[in-house]
């Protein structure tokens, strides 16, 4: 096994392990809570049937829908089908004690049977995951938080400032844009902004996998090796939509020298304090995950005092029926206006002011003070 293969294997193992650990943790916790919830819902169903039997003309048997809907939200796929059958049996009992039933009574019963079938179908669909209900939602929240934690920028030495901001399409919790960053050495920052194919929830699972793998590769490889290794990793996944764009910054925090490499991604932008103007850095390369032995052109330079770099995804500059170059010009004009005098909160301000609300957006601002 070559050193590159070893790095990819470690990245893959380090990425999958947290997801498996999360699934096991929530499954164990969910199994304990599920029994208690099931007991409460069974008791609730019995109380409702007792009330209907004692007062069939005054207590509505449609109240059985309350424990059914609660069960659809709280029970796991193993218990939910049996509880639906239990509710169906209670419904039969309630219908049998109705006094002078009318067509409306039978229609109400039919609607409740339909609700039971809908809940059962949803349970069978979610059973493929193995965790559903409140515990399933908690697991997804935990996985989303892992993406955000992995995208945190480490504490930089005095004189340097870096921040990031992410927004998903339509305001959903999951996004296909993410940031990975690490201090490879005490004086070298490695940072990458990645845009996975798709957007919102559709790209969220792939973003989780790639954020772990790319985070492992970022600090383990020299700057020129990161994008080729990331490209090889994506090619090995054999996904139907297995491509991504990325931009990688390697910054020497001692003297300010940097290297920027791009893979099918919008170019980085540089602000030089001497002129006060923003300019685009020419760095090019193919999209990740499409071709073997890809080569990535590098742009080199040096950040002086009060200089800054912008790294962003296409959601910041791309809109329907508008050329991306016009979007970049608009972003740089807005940056010149919004960031005059201070870079504190710069990433957040730019994300809120620019970009398409129908696409994921990510922005990173690195500045030297």
Cα(346)–Cα(121) distance, rounded to whole angstroms?
47
Q: How crowded is the C-beta side of 36, counted as CA atoms within 13 Å?
A: 5
Q: End-to-end distance of the chain based on CA atoms, in angstroms?
A: 45
Task: Using pLDDT thresholds of 50, 70 and 90, give the confidence band for residue 146.
Answer: low
In this structure, what are the phi and psi dihedrals at residue 239, rounded to the nearest 5 degrees?
A: -75, 150
Token pair 């993410």 in the structure block, residue: 178
**Nearest of 213, 43, 34 to residue 136 by alpha carbon:** 34
pLDDT of residue 246: 93
> Would you mind telling me the total number of residues written for the chain in this entry?
369
pLDDT of residue 359: 78
Task: Using pLDDT thresholds of 50, 70 and 90, give the confidence band for residue 26.
Answer: very low
Q: Who wins on pLDDT, 16 or 202?
A: 202
Q: What is the mean pLDDT of residues 226-251?
A: 88
Cα(244)–Cα(199) distance, rounded to whole angstroms?
11
Q: What is the 3-state secondary structure (H, E, C) of 228-269?
A: HHHHHHHHHHCCCCCCEEEEEEEEECCCCEEEEEEECCCCCE
Q: What is the mean pLDDT of residues 222-245?
A: 87
For the stretch 354-358, contacts whose Cβ atoms lie closer than 8 Å and that sit 24 or more positions apart, written own/partner, are: 354/316, 354/317, 354/330, 355/167, 355/315, 355/316, 355/317, 356/315, 356/318, 356/319, 356/320, 357/169, 357/170, 357/171, 358/169, 358/170, 358/199
For residue 33, pLDDT beyond 90: no
- Lookup: tokens for 186: 């005490």
Task: Using pLDDT thresholds of 50, 70 and 90, give the confidence band for residue 1.
Answer: very low
Choose the most confident range, by mean pLDDT, from 13-17, 72-76, 111-115, 352-356: 111-115
**Nearest of 105, 44, 50 to residue 70 by alpha carbon:** 44
Choose the most confident range, by mean pLDDT, from 8-22, 34-48, 139-153, 243-257: 243-257
pLDDT of residue 299: 93
Q: 322 in helix, strand or coil?
A: strand
For 163-201, the pLDDT digits (tens) are 988 887 766 656 678 888 999 889 999 999 998 876 655
pLDDT of residue 250: 95
Q: What is the mean pLDDT of residues 16-32?
A: 48
Average pLDDT, the chain: 80
Q: Who wins on pLDDT, 78 or 253?
A: 253
Alpha-carbon separation of residue 94 from 52, 85, 209, 266 (angstroms)? 6, 14, 50, 64
- Lookup: tokens for 322: 């508008």
Task: Using pLDDT thresholds of 50, 70 and 90, give the confidence band for residue 152.
Answer: confident
Q: How crowded is the C-beta side of 276, counted as CA atoms within 13 Å?
A: 7
Beta bridge partners of 167: 361
Instruction: Tell me whether residue 161 is exposed, middle or buried, using C-beta atoms within 10 angstroms of its C-beta: 0 to 12, 13 to 18, 19 or more.
Output: middle
126-130, 187-191, 205-209: lowest mean pLDDT where?
126-130
**Residue 315 near residue 356 (C-beta atoms within 8 A):** yes
Q: What is the mean pLDDT of residues 294-300?
A: 92
Which DSSP string do the residues of 104-116 spell out, in sequence order? Answer: HHHHHHHHHHHHH
**Residue 329 near residue 146 (C-beta atoms within 8 A):** no
For 6-16, the pLDDT digits (tens) are 444 444 444 44
pLDDT of residue 10: 47
Choose the most confident range, by mean pLDDT, from 6-10, 127-131, 201-205, 266-270: 266-270
For residue 303, pLDDT beyond 80: yes
Q: 273 in helix, strand or coil?
A: coil
pTM, entire model: 0.68
Fill in the DSSP letter of residue 287: P
pLDDT of residue 274: 82
Q: What is the mean pLDDT of residues 59-66?
A: 89
For residue 288, pLDDT beyond 80: yes
For residue 338, pLDDT beyond 80: no
Cα(208)–Cα(104) distance, rounded to whole angstroms?
50
**Residue 296 near residue 261 (C-beta atoms within 8 A):** yes
Q: What is the mean pLDDT of residues 261-273?
A: 91
For residue 129, pLDDT beyond 70: no
Cα(357)–Cα(145) distance, rounded to whole angstroms?
22
């Amino acid at each position: 096994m070559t050193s590159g293969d070893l790095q990819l294997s470690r990245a893959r193992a380090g990425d999958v392990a947290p997801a498996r650990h999360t699934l096991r943790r929530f499954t164990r916790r969910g199994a304990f809570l599920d029994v208690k919830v099931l007991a409460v819902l069974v008791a609730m169903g019995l109380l409702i049937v007792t009330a209907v039997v004692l007062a069939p003309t005054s207590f509505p048997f449609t109240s059985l829908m309350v424990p059914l809907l609660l069960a659809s939200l709280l029970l796991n796929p193993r218990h939910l089908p049996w509880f639906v059958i239990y509710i169906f049996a209670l419904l039969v009992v309630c219908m049998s004690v109705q006094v002078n039933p009318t067509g409306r009574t039978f229609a109400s019963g039919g609607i409740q049977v339909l609700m039971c079938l809908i809940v059962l179908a949803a349970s069978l669909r979610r059973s493929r995951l193995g965790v559903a209900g409140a515990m399933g939602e908690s697991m997804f929240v935990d996985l989303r938080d892992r993406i955000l934690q992995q995208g945190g920028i480490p504490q930089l030495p005095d004189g340097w400032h870096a921040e990031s901001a992410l927004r998903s399409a339509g305001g959903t919790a999951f996004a296909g844009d993410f940031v990975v960053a690490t201090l490879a050495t005490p004086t070298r920052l490695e940072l990458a902004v990645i845009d996975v194919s798709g957007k919102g929830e559709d790209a969220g699972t792939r973003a989780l996998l790639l954020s772990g793998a790319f985070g492992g590769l970022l600090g383990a490889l020299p700057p020129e090796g990161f994008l080729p290794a990331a490209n090889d990793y994506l090619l090995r996944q054999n996904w139907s939509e297995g491509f991504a764009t990325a931009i990688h910054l390697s910054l020497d925090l001692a003297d300010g020298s940097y290297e920027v490499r791009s893979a099918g991604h919008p170019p980085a932008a540089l602000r030089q304090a001497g002129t006060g103007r923003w300019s685009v850095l020419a760095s090019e390369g193919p999209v990740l995950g499409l071709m073997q032995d890809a080569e990535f052109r590098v742009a080199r330079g040096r950040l002086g005092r009060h200089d800054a770099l912008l790294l962003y995804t296409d959601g910041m500059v791309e809109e329907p029926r508008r050329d991306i170059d016009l979007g970049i010009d608009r972003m740089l004009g807005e940056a010149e206006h919004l960031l005059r005098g201070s870079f504190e909160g710069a990433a957040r301000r730019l994300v809120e002011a620019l970009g398409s609300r129908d696409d994921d957006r990510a922005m990173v601002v690195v500045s030297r003070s």
